[in-house]
Amino acid sequence: MILTIAKKEFRSLFAAPSTWWMLALLQFLFAWFYFARMDDYLQVQAQLAQLDNAPGATIAVAAPLCSALALMLMMLIPLFTMRLIAEERRNQTWVLLLTSPVSTTHIVLGKFLGLLLLLALIVAACAAMLATLLLGTRADIGLMLTNVGGVLLLSASYAALGLYFSALSKQPIIAAAGTLGLSFGLWLLELSASDSRSFLRAISPSAHFQNLNMGLVNSADLIYFALLIAVLLWLAIRQLNDERRHA
C-alpha cells in the first residue's frame, strides 16, 4: 500500500508542469554555480599549487556546490510538500484516501517515499554534474559521496518537515510558507551561532550537514537526521489520526 501511494505521488509530481520548471531552474542554477566555482578555482589554482597540502578540486568546487544545492532545495521542497496533503484537502481528493482501507501511517510513509524518490533524482542529476570533475582531475570520491549523502539526508528532513506542515494546514500556500519559514529560521540559527558547541547549532539540520559537507561522517549527525525525520513523520501521522478519529 505504501508503494502504491508512493508511485502515484511520484508520477503525479511529474505530471505537473511546475515540477519540470522547478527542476529545470534548479539544474540551470546549479550549472551556473558550478561554472562560477570552477572559474574561481582555476584562477587561483597556480597559487594554490605552491602550498603544502593544497585544497583539491573536490573541496574547492564540489563541497561548496553541495552547500548551495542544500540551500536551493530548502527553498524548493516546500513547494513540493504543500501538494502532498494540503492541496489534496483543497481539491477534495483527500476523501478518496480517507474512505479507502489505508491506514494513516501508510498514507504518510507513501507520500514521503514518493517525494524522496523525486529528491533522490534531483540530487542524482546534480551528482552526475559533479562527476564531470573526474574528467579533468583526480577527485576525492569519499568527500563527494558524503556530500551527496548529506544533501539527501538534509532534503529528507526538509521533506518530513514540509509533510508535517502540509498535514496541519488546509491551505497549500500556508503549508509552504510555514515550512519555508521554519527551515529558513533553522538555517539562520546555524549561521548566528558563533560557538560550534552551541545548543543552537545542535538543533539546526544545516549545522549537522556541515560535518558531512566537510567529509566528516559522524554517527551523531546520522542519528540526528534519523530522529528528526522519524519524529516529524510521527507528528504528521498523529495529527492526521487525530483528525480522523475525533470530531
Partner 1 sequence: MTATLTLSAQALTRRHGARLVAVSGVSLQLHRGEVLGLLGHNGAGKSTTLQMLTGALPPNSGKVEICGFDLALQPEQAKACIGFLPEHPPLYKDMRVDDYLLFAARLRRVPASRLAEALTQAKQRCGLQDSGRKIVGTLSKGYQQRVGIAQAIIHNPAVVVLDEPTVGLDPAQIRDIRTLIRKLGDSSSVILSTHLLNEVESLCDRVAILQKGHLIHSGSVAEMVASGTMEDAFLQITANEAPLT
What does the binding site for partner 1 look like in residue numbers (CB under 8 A)?
Answer: 1, 4-5, 8, 11-12, 15-16, 91-103, 244-247
Q: What angle in degrees, to the nearest 10, is found between the helix axes of 141-168 and 219-245? A: 20
Nearest alpha carbon to residue 181 among 158, 160, 199, 147 = 158
Task: Give the nearest distance from C-beta 217 to partner 1 in angstroms.
Answer: 39
Among residues 198 and 241, whose Cβ is nearest to partner 1?
Answer: 241
Neighbours of 186 (CB within 10 A): 19
Considering the complex, state which of residue 96 and residue 125 has its C-beta at the smaller distance from partner 1: 96
User: What is the rounded CA–CA span in Å between residue 154 and residue 20?
Assistant: 22
CA 106 to chain centre: 21
**CB of 106 or CB of 208, closer to partner 1:** 106
- The nearest distance, CB 237 to partner 1, in angstroms, is 14
Nearer to partner 1 by C-beta: 38 or 97?
97
CB of 26 to partner 1, least distance (A): 21
Give the separation between CA 77 and CA 131, rounded to whole angstroms.
Answer: 24
Q: How far is the CB of 102 from partner 1 (least distance, A)?
A: 6
| Residue 136 vs residues 112, 143, 184, 223: alpha-carbon distances, Å | 38, 17, 36, 36
CB 245 to partner 1: min, Å = 6
Nearer to partner 1 (CB atom), residue 197 or residue 245: 245
